[in-house]
Structure 1
Amino acid sequence: MSVVPAEALTSGLGVLPAPLREAVKQRLQALGEALPPLRDPLALDWLGRLARVFAASEFAAQAATRDPAAVRDLLASGDLYRRYAPGSLAARVRDAVAEAEDEAALKHRLRVLRRREYLRLVWRDVGGAADLSEVTATLSELADACLASALDWLARRAAEVYGEPRAADGGAMGLVVLGLGKLGGYELNFSSDVDIVFAYPEDGETGGPRTISHHEFFLKLAQSLINALHEPTADGFVFRVDTRLRPFGASGPLVLSFDAMEHYYQTHGREWERYAFIKARACAGDRAAGEELLARLKPFVYRRYLDYGALDAIRGMKAMIEREVERRAMAGNLKLGPGGIREIEFIAQTHQLIRGGRERPLQERATLDLLPRLARAGYLPQAVADELREAYIFLRTSEHRLQQVADRQVHTLPSEPLERERLAFATGFADWTAYAAVLEAHRARVHQHFTALLGGEPAARPADEGRGLVPVWLGQIEPERAAPILEQAGYGDPSAVLALLKGLREGPVYRGFSTEGRARLDRLLPLLLLDAAATREPGVALARAIQIIESIGRRSAYLSLLIENGTARAQLVNLAAASPWIAAWISRHPVLLDELLDPREFYALADRAALEADLTDQLAALPEDDLEAQMERLREFKNAELLRVAAADIGPGLAPERVGAQLATLAEVVLAAALAIAQRDLERRHGAPGGREPPPGFAVIGYGKLGSHELGYASDLDMIFLYEEAEGATTTGARAIPNELYFARLGQRLIHILTTRTPAGVLYEVDMRLRPSGKAGPLVTSLPAFRRYQSKEAWTWEHQALVRARPVAGSAAVAAAFEAARREILCRSRDPDALRREVREMRARIAESHAQPHEGFDVKYDRGGIVDIEFMVQYWALRWAHDHPDVARHTDNINILETLARLGLVEDERARLLASAYRRCLSAEHRLKLMERGACVPLAELEGLPEAVAGIWNETFERE
């Protein structure tokens, strides 16, 4: 039996609030008279939802009753029942525009289509079939499609009159339409303006019947496009167009060339414009050229360094909005009021402006997609990100319900009882009281998080902190008056401090700063003076801190970081006071200042798994083919972890072997990542090594301090490269090369990644002289060649080096083969007398090469120092490994000594003494590096340990 649509239409009236019921009933009856009987249960179900839709949206009610054919089409086509497939909406708009015979027809077709699509979307949204992401994405796709199709139509007409604009190389050229704001983020509101900026690739002239400049052509085209979408007609409008975000705002030219755009943002660009361009994308016109323009503007939007200078600008924007809210009494504004949508966007985009230049996953346009990324990166607690997400969805849904009432751009909560009833019903609440309670809970949480992020003032400190030192820093008082102030603060030599401050104030760094940069430094220096005064040596701490400030150069955002973060500032001063090496390290790599923000994480050293996971995540965020970015990220990662180890060493304190082991683990993690990058690069070109399954492997073998887990802060990496042979085999790619050549290039590529100097410095210096035949030998060695060399040609000192060698990166199969070859060589039977003589002679040559006069005790090379202990350990390992293979199991000196003692090969007391002396000398070596005091300490500091070691050396080697 057929069902009259009117009966289906009115079936939902019972759930409506009484004040809305009668008006909705009349609208539904009017629509029902224009619709035929329907049998389709799906269509009847959707007609039943119209009562709710009409109650929520006067616009939908008017659109449906004004154009029943659109309702019939939505039901018959099935478009109402499903989310559009990608590209289908754009195709619909193109088809609608294609047959327009003039601009009036173009406008009519666009507006009729817009009314249909808005009716469809309200029906799906209020009817419960579309979530927020579908609503905003569909609105944004519709705007893109209308902009693109109208622009194509208008451009064709303009070219008929003026000719086509052409680039200097003869290629076609089109207008670029950049979408900003919510359009750029695919987050368009139901009744949003579309924020757009116009640009074109290059200046020139058209070549048509009426030649005009490219600027004039594209200006006319942009004006026509705005008119086609924005002008109200009898059919309404398509989108309100806002172009005030263009360079120089409403007073600036409507269109600019790429060069002019780039020059404007480099010369005049302001922080709020960076904020606006975070969401920018090419949404219509020549999109490929648009992507080129955005790439040129990216350095303006995203700084390569951590940009804490953005906080002041964001705080200023927020203060302006708050003043506007207060002045206009907009506390009920869902967008701009306290706890509103703008505050959520500010929280998210603050992190983007600060860190987006270094962390590409944060260069995300959509707020809902950005929040979980901030949580995963650790910049927002997961619970906070979840609360902000829930609030954003609630506020944006409420905003849509307000705008769906009459298709008006409104953000303010209603005050009329009927409209409050409508909003509560449309958002799924029983009444206004229930809705308002949930709304206020969301807004309170948002505002709390927003306040916690930015606060009222740049730093939570007493208002007068450092104020008394301001005139001292600025040189506004005579030295006679300044000196007592500095003495009272804690400085023992005020004249030296005043000279230091004058040198900075009158030096090139301060003069080179912008007005804003100088203002930041003027705020920072009094605070640094206070923090340095609290250290053991205030003058030293201040001098080293100023060294870091001078190294920052014109990147005044780092000054903002230190102003904003008292914890980071105190950390910096304390570290600088404790170690000139750390101060110099931070000076060379100021990006490390960000590491000082959380002292709990800063001093907590990560284990190997955590280091690997962290580096993997950081590299995964970069394009696989961007070698420069990958090399820079490897260096930044290593620099930060090295600083953590040094800080923990001089702060909480680390055992010397822990320092070496941590630095060696860091090097291994970085080597493994660098090797993987090198392999991917070569395999893209040549394929993988062939000849057998699994493919032949390649491994990095660490020698010296790397091999023995005893790396120092400035150690080179002693390495050799080994690979598996597959005779006559080539790689598997289209550009195949012999395996041997592949492995040679792999070694070269790895060394290039490690040793090339980038803005973040050199990753590691590399020493390859321990490879077979030394400098004269090939860079990479096959496993059989390595075995032959070690068996037949290697010198005793090369077997000594093998004691401390181990695989550190690459193929597990090659690593296992190396371990077997090492064990075989080390466990050979040797003539003890000949071995003792050769080890002693090698030690004598080293002593002779380091025989320069010096004061104090050289902890590494003097008799009784590190080299003596290492040589004794190596001698005993080679002497006893044949009969006791366990001696060859470890590569670090402490473990080998413990094994020798356990096996009774070295007396317990002697082994403990040597281990104690080794630790003391290593500790001194690390401390000397951190204090930049050369290689010598007063002999008395080591409390007789060198003499005891020398005695054991004499007993071991000097007897014949």
Structure 2
Amino acid sequence: MSRPLSSRTALLGHGFTDVDVAEANLALLGEGADPLLWILAGTADPDLALAGLVRLLEAIDEDPAGPGRARLLATLVDEDGTAMRLLSVLGTSLALTDHLVRHPEQWEDLRHPLLGSTRPPAFWLRACLLGAVGADPSDPAPVATLPDAQAMLAMRVEYRRHLLLLTSRDLAHGVGVDDVAAELSDLAAATLEAGLAVARQRVGAAAADVRLAVIAMGKCGARELNYVSDVDVVFVHEPVVPEDPDTPAPDPERVRRTATQLASHLIRVCSDPTREGEIWEVDAALRPEGKAGPLTRTLDGFLGYYERWASTWEFQALLKRRPVAGDLALGREWSEMLDPLVWTAAERDGFVEQTQAMRRRVVEHLSGKDADRQLKLGEGGLRDVEFAVQMLQLVHGRADETIRCTATLSALHHLTEGGYLGREDGEDLSRAYEFLRRLEHRIQLFRLRRTHVVPDDEASLRRLGRSLGLMKEPAAALEAEWGRVRREVSRLHQKVFYRPLLTAVAAIPGPDARLTPAAAATRLAALGYREPTAALRHLEALTAGVGRAAAIQRTLLPAMLQWFADCGDPDGGLFGFRRISESLGQTPWYLALLRDEGQVAERLARVLATSKYATSLLEHEPQGLRVLADTDLGPRPLEPMLEEMRAAAARREEPEAAVRALRAVRRRELFRLAAADSLGLVDVEQVGAALSRLTDATLETALTVVERAVLAARGLETAPTRFAVIAMGRYGGFELSYGSDADVLFVHEPVEGADHQEAAAYAQALAHELRRLLGLPGGDPPLVIDADLRPEGRSGPLVRTLESYAAYYERWSMVWEAQALLRADAVVGDPDLRAAFTALVDPLRFPEAGLTEDDVLEVRRIKGRVDKERLPRGADPATHLKLGRGGLADVEWTVQLIQMRHGHEVEGLRRCRTLPALAAAAEAGLVDGHDAEVLADTWRWVSRVRNAVTLVRGKPSDQLPKDAHDRHAVAALLGYEDGSSEELIEDHLRRTRTARQVVDRVFWED
């Protein structure tokens, strides 16, 4: 007979979701069902718990009324504690339910009256696991006596039995997450000891000659292990010293081989699958040299490696070391030997860069699919807490032994007590960490699988939420609470590490910890600030006082300091921020924009700490800060820039004021582009094109201003000549860099009926005034207009008529001038005159018959002279970006020679830009496709490096920086992990060397 509707409703109220199945399962329990309903209602998944109970009953014996089943049901009805423990496990962990079904007798272990209040000591767990494999716990080097296969199974069954007991206490009695993690670590240590006993049995008598210590690392070493985790270990060995001094010591090589055998067998004993499953992976990859290094080393071997070769991350890993199995005295000796090295790691060269790289790798290793569900590595996750705590320990633990503890929660407590964290912040961070660890435990318990991804299906979220006590709308409540904790951890991650720096320099009310200035300077140095004392002065200037501006700065700076530290020049970033703030601090919109628009603050911090060039522009045009709020920070099209410049210039009568106004627009656009480049939002070709278009707009607008002024000065109403500007060089090639001059030619053509002498004087005045006004010192880099590529160079007239150009080129033109005209692009001024000039020079740069052999030889001769004579004195030809081997000049001359030889027959070669011309040459079969790819890749690379040098140093240079700090900053801007200038140099030499080989084949035809 079915239950009445009220009973079905009651089942839903008790948390069951499949009422029909629940009714059937409850019927199987008979009269014992009703007393258990209230306990089932408190489990994570009442349906799962009830189904698991039915499975367990079926596993006890076949008779539905058998004594085993009856006894279990009677016990559950009579003993609330046992019922709570068993049903909590069954409702949370499908894997442990499966274990109980295989070993149903173990439910009896849950009956112990002290189980909920007593934690088993580590020595007892060790004795239990050793006993399971038939080893004597009192033996200093216990050996398993059970047959190997039997010992493997017995270990796993005993391990799961203790895991079952711990899980029941965790779920039913609210054991603290740190106590759970510590007990899991003790259980892992006991299992390693039992595994070593089995390994000794496998190796045989030779094991007696070896002292082997098993050092737990990571979470096991810190006694904060998860339910399911790899157990990280390191092995150290020494020979057993004979008691009889006349007995020779064991052969060191034989000892090493035996120790390696023991370690290898231990790993397999724990990791190999059996019909009882596996325990967990034993991971020895944290040893020196990782998987490529020997599995075990002696004390001297470890010391030699850590003194000479170890990286910062390896010392950070050693924070959590702990001898757990084998020869514990040897393990303690190993640990004490390394102690001084661990606590001086923060003083090592490269500490900051390697630490920053570790943080970046955490983010980079996130799976795109699961990144937003990552509990461990995601933003606001466990690793954020652990990383901040470990950094604080490494930085301040040198002088304060009280914070040298291994477990994260213990370290948080001692850091708070020591004043390195504000008390409230320390407590908030501890609570957040405890929540994340509990959630991690509940996720892993379901199937006992190693995972840190929060599921997104409703059923799993409901089970997890209820397991954490969130009984009302559990799935939604869990998502909300997890989101809140993530945000809190992200906020505290910044505040915990950076906020106390502010308390060291400013009188800030509230409970924040107060570092001494010396400790604050130490922390800043660890973050990568080269001049921490100066940095503290900047912080003091920014945060002093009780006004609104200081209050907002104190809110912003923890995040800003972290963003500065992530970049190549944190000192420059902080100093630049101070200067910008002093310039704009009283402007109402400035701090509000940074406070309310997180993207703007982060972009600003990263730009200031990356580019002196951009910082200087912003200092002179602080209003340009607003562009950082643009969703699309890329280059603007030409027409909007022209319109804005024309409007700015039109509002000023005096030509100098008008040009200053349009240069202010140019300055802001330069900042926009430099910021986008510093943030990695544009590529080098986009930069070159944008700078060229910006120069077009600047010249076009300035020419309008100058024409108006020259007409007025000469009392003219109309211009006596048409005037145009021809872009040359990198400007004509659409390939300007931040430090490039604007190479140009000036051409004019008198209007009909005009006096030619007056027209020439007018054109000369235009050119001279244009160069003067744009070259005046100002807040933006002056636009230097270089006309040295004109006929006869500096000795020739600055401006020529079209007819004069034609006459000169017909009579005197040399092949190098034809080569220079390859980049001629008529961009500014009278459209008809520009078109006429292009028509004039096309036959010169793309001669109908191509180049003669003499012309080719002449081009090569000139290139040879350039290589020998133009390289600046003292410059390194291997790293000179323009004239060095495989540099820009090599690539561009190679492409230009192909253009002049074949441009008359291949239309695609008739263009001013290097890369499109190179692509056309490859398409036409004039250069091998792979060679073309090498040249294009190198051209982009060297151009990018050249721009990066200017951005970092604030001034142009064609040489890779010799200063180590500048090289590091350039490498960081180019995306090298750790800002590795060594990798930068190696990459540059490799690329340019390969390009030079192509140049030798194609240009020199070697």
TM-score category, normalised to shorter length: 0.3 to 0.5
TM-score by length of 1: 0.45
